Amino acid sequence: MAEITVTETEQRRSTARILDVREDFEVEEGMIPGALHIPMGQLQARLGELDPATPVIAVCRSGNRSAAVADALNGAGYTADTMTGGMIAWTRAGLPTT
């Protein structure tokens, strides 16, 4: 698993699946446009929503949960990275949210 910056995430949005693993109440504050929302606790049950052929960039509020999710995905045969700083860093950088 690699830790990638918000800038790298923005550049890879068209070729990777952004996976937002925050809870519903956190997502209400805004998500990266086009991201798939699967709360961390539901990941195992909803793994089929991810395409193993598409790289995943896991995102959470600050980067801790997404690092654990990226590790788990890599262990399950996916290619996954985590976005350093999470949505805190994304919004601080002035990048778009929906």
* Helices marked H in the chain: 6-12, 24-27, 43-46, 64-75, 86-92
Q: What are the structure tokens assigned to 72, written together?
A: 């788990």
Active site residue 60: yes
Of 60, 67, 73, 80, catalytic: 60
CA atoms within 13 A on the CB side of 10: 12
Active site residues: 60
